[in-house]
Structure 1
Amino acid sequence: METLPIELGEMICSWFIPGFDNTEVMKAPVSSKSERIDIYHFRLTSRSLNAGASTAFAKIVEDIPTNCEERSLSRLSELVALPHVGKRITCLTFNTSKLSLKQNISERELRDLMMSRQNWTMTHLRQALVLVLRKTPWLRCLRAVLEAPNIFECLTYDNNESYRDGMIWASKEKIWKVVTQKLADPMHYLMEAMDVTNLRKTLQSFIILVPSFQEMSREAAPCEGSETASFPSLTHITFALSYRLISSVRFRLSSDSLTSLHIILDSTRYVNADVWTWTSSSDFPPRLRSFTVGMSGRDIKTDSLLRCISQVSSHIELLSLLVIKNITAIDLECAGSIDTLCGDGRFEDVVFENVKYAVLYETGFDFGDFGMTEPTEPDKDWKAFRMLCERADRVRLRTDMFERSIEKLEWEI
C-alpha cells in the first residue's frame, strides 16, 4: 500500500464521494454517513492512501454542516489550518440555528442555555467565523442551513402558565417565540464575517437551506438588517422561502453576474410571495440563464407555481433553461383560478423532473368535503403543462429512472 501512487489513491477515493452539483443541492449534507466513514477508514490504511484521500476528505469537510458554536468552529478552524485541507476547500456549510437542543431540558436549564448562547454568539461568533474564512483562500461556495430549534420535542414541562426563576413561562409557543425572536441570529454574524474577509467580493455560489421547516412557526423573526448586499462575482443562489420564519436577517442580493437561480418552495405561507424582491435589487439580473423551482415535501397549487415562474418570464425574453422538480401540482376542478403565464418570455428548454399533478374536487357528500385524484405525470389535461410547452423550444420529462423528450402531440389539443 505504501508504494501505491497518490494519483491511484485519489482515483479510488473519488468513488467513495458522490458527484454533486451545488446548484442542485436541496439538503445538507449531500454525502451519506457510510460514504464518509469509508473515507475516514481509508485514510488510516497507509500514509500513501492518507495523502491520496486528501481531496475526498476536503469534500467531506465542505459537506458536513458546522454548527455556529464554539466547539464545532474550533474543530473546523484546526482542520482548515492544515495545508492539505484548507487550500483544497472551495465550499463550506454552516448550521446557523439560534439554539441546538438534542435532549430533554427543563425550563431552568433552557433559560441558562439561552443566556450562555446569547453571550457567546454576540461576543465571539463573528471572530470565530473570520478565523475559518481566512484559512480557506479558495472558498467560492457558501451553504447556510437555517434550522429551527426543536424545543417542542425537548422541553419537559406542563402547558400551564408558571412563574419561576423570575420569568413567566406561558406556553410552548411563547417559548418558541422567545428562542427564535430574542436570541442573536448567527446568520447576521456570518454576513458580517463575509464583509470582514472580503468573501462577498469573490463568492460565486450562495445556498440557503431550511432542512426542518416547522408548522408551529406562525410569525417571521424580527428584522435585524435589510441592507443591499453586493456580491459582484455571484453566479448562483439557492434559497428556501421559509428562511424568513427562522432567520432575522433580511438581505437583498445585488449581482449582475447571476446566471442561475434555484427557489425551494417549502412553506405554504410564502409560496405566493414575490420571490425576486426578496433576493435582489430592483433590477432583474440580465444574465440569468437557468431557473429552477423545486419543492421540499409539499404540494403546491398550480396557480402559485405559475406565478413564481411568471416572475422570470415577465423580465427575460429568452431563458435557456427552466427546471420544475420534485413537485406535485394541485388543480381545483371547479375553479377557473389558474393564472396565465405572465410576460412574453420563452424558454429554450423546459425540464419536468419528478413532477406530477392531481385534481382536487368536491365529493358532493357534504359542504367542504374534498377528494383528490391520483397524481399522474404531466399531460395535455394539465393546463399549466400546455402553457409551458407552448413557450418552450424543447420539453423533457425526467424521472429517477429515465428521461425522454415530449412531442408536440402530447400537449397540443
Structure 2
Amino acid sequence: MSLEFCRRHTPELLIVFFGLIFLVAVSGTVGGEAGSFLAAALDVALFVVLAMLVYLAEDRHRAFRWAAGIWLLVLIGGLAAATAGFGLLSILPPEALDAEQFDPETVDLALAAEMALLLLGVLVAGLASLIGLSRKFRVWLARYLPFDPDSFLHTVALVVILAMILIPPVPLLVTGGPPFLSPQFLDLLLASGDLLADTVTLNAYTLFWTIVGSFFIAGACVRRTPRETLERLGLVRPTGKEVLLAIAAAFALVAVFHIIDPVLAALVGYLGLPVTDTEAVNLLFAGSLTLPGIIVASIAAGFGEEVSIRGLLQPRFGILLPALLFASLHAFQYSWDGLISVFLAGVVFAYIRRYSNTTTSAITHTVYDLVLFALLMAGISF
C-alpha cells in the first residue's frame, strides 16, 4: 500500500471509524468488556477526528476548514462543559444532588455566586484559548517555539493546547479544591462501586487508544509512513544504557520530590492556598492498589502521557506549554502544590525526551509512577 493511497483515503476512513466508535460508545448499545473498550476511545476519538479534518483542509479543500473549525469549537465546548460539570458536582450539597425537583427558595446566595463564578471562569478560559487563532499572537510565539505560525494544523493544535491548559484548573481556582477529591465525588464513586473497582483493563484500554490516536494525529498513513511516525514521536528501541539511565533517573526523582513536595505544600499553605489532601488522593487510587493494578496504571500513565505529550507535542511546542498541559490534566485530582510538583516532573521528562528520546522518558515516567504506587500500596505516603 503506497503512501499516496493512504493520503487519499485514510483521513475519511478514520473519521468514519472513530465517529462510529464515538456514537456507539455514547449510545451505550454495546455493553460488557466491549463497551468498556469502546468507551475508553471517547476522548481520543474527538482529537483524531479533528486532526483528520485539519489534514483534509490542508491537502484537499479549504471548505474542510469550516468543518475543522466547528469541530474545534465542539471539542472546546465539551471540555468546558465537563469541567463545569465536575466543578458543580464538587460544590453542590448532597441534598441538592439527591433532590428530584429544584426549589428556588432553598438556594444559598453564596453557593449561587460560586456556581456563577465557576461557569463564568470556564467560559472566559475557553474564550481565552481562542487567542491561538490570532496570527499576531502565533508569530510572536513562534519566536520562541519551533512551530509554523501559518500552518493550519499547528494553529488548531495551539488552540487545543491552550484550552486544555486554561480550562481544567478553573474549578480549583474558584472552589479551592480539586473536584475529584471532593466528598461529593468520592461518595458518588463509593456508592457506584467505581472507587474500589479493578482498573487494570480500563487503564490498558486507555493506553491502547492513546497510542493509536497519537500515531494517527502525528500523520501515520496520512503524511508519514509508520516508520516515519515512530521517528516523529521519538519512539525507538532504547539501548541498555538508556534503560539504566531511565531507571536511575526515576529513583532519583522519587528521592528529590520526597524533599520538594513537603516544601511545596508548606509554601502553598503559607500563601493561603489549598494543599492536596493526600488521604483523599490515596482513596481515589484505591482501585489500582494491587500488583497488576499498579503495573498497568504506571505503564498506561508513563507511555500514554509521554507519547501524547512529550512525543507528539514537544517537537512543535517546546517544553513549557506541554509541561503546563501535563500539569493541567491533573488539576481535577491535585491542589496547587501537587500541580507544581507535576509540572516540575514534566519538565524533567521533557529534557530527557529532548536529549534522548520518548521511549527513555516513558520508561523514566513509568518507573517513577511504579515506585510511588508501590510505596502507596505499602502504606508509605510520599
Which of the pair has the greater relative contact order for Cα pairs under 8 Å at 6+ separation? 2
Greater share of residues in strand = 1
Whether TM-score is above 0.5 comes out as no
Max radius of gyration: which structure? 1
Question: What is the TM-score normalised by the length of structure 2?
Answer: 0.29
Greater share of residues in helix = 2
